[in-house]
Structure 1
Amino acid sequence: MTITPVKTLVASAKEQIETLSQEDAEAQVAAGVSQFVDIRDIRELKREGGIPGAIHAPRGMLEFWVDPASPYHKPEFNTDKKLVLFCASAWRSALAVKTLQDMGFENIAEMEGGFGAWKKRGAMIEEQKKEAK
């Protein structure tokens, strides 16, 4: 059996999605036109902390939470703001943004470098994260 390596899937997704620089993403969120969505696992969130104001939507539930027709839909995703997804290193977020685009979402992007780059540049981190309810 031949499989497509995940690295290839990520590279392909990145060619088809919008990737915002850390600074642009932060500025858009601060201006109120975008909303951070943290798709990391809850264990990563508890261990590493998160970005203040980000909604936590674990990767495994993301499509279900954003789809208004899903019984699992979360109202936080009924927004005109651009959703800016991030994970630890911008691999899962690239695949997630591509999937949401395939679902029909247009106002969506990922943040370059993910939370790892956010932390490395010394940007604000909070210990407790709010999860979509």
Structure 2
Amino acid sequence: MKHVKDMVAEANAVLDCIPAAEAAALLQDPGVRLVDLRDVRELERDGMIPGAFHCPRGMLEFWIDPESPYAKPVFREDRRFVFYCASGWRSALSAKVAQDMGLRVAHVSDGFKGWKEAGNPVAAYPVREG
């Protein structure tokens, strides 16, 4: 059996891993799109990185693939995508998949937890009416 911890380590070995303390500088970079992979309940409870795009982990491949009926135009932007989750595990696996699908990608290695611990800004998740 292959364990998740091993899969995360393998992904991190081939990815650009950015510590949260350094990731704040990316907020001002127009060539970067931050992508939050957490569940909507996590966003509602904890907030998110200001300006980040929310893509639920379960929809990632479908939203990236331009031939999918669920494709999102954001993933066709000419940008570097920086994924994050709560602790860096989901984002490592997701970034590896996105890299395999052809995106320029990195991930926040210590996740949103590290982001908050570094004192970086947090925005409320915009709750939709109706």
Query: What is the TM-score of this pair, normalised by structure 2?
Result: 0.91
Match of 1:123 among 120, 123, 128: 120
Identify the structure with the greater helix proportion.
Answer: 2
What 5-or-longer segments of structure 2 have no aligned partner?
none
Letter in 2 for 1:59: R
1:94 positional shift? 0.4
- Aligned residue in 1 for 2:44: 46
Cα contact 2:34–2:84 (8 A) shared by 1? yes
Aligned pairs, how many? 128
Query: What is the TM-score of this pair, normalised by structure 1?
Result: 0.89
Match of 1:9 among 7, 20, 35: 7
Cα contact 1:38–1:54 (8 A) shared by 2? yes
- Aligned residue in 2 for 1:62: 60
Cα contact 1:54–1:129 (8 A) shared by 2? no
Q: Return structure 1 stretches of 4+ with deviation > 6 angstroms.
A: none
What 5-or-longer segments of structure 1 have no aligned partner?
none
User: RMSD of aligned C-alpha atoms?
Assistant: 1.6
1:102 positional shift? 1.7
1:26 positional shift? 2.4
Q: Distance in 1 between matches of 2:127 and 2:10?
A: 31
Q: Distance in 1 between matches of 2:127 and 2:12?
A: 28
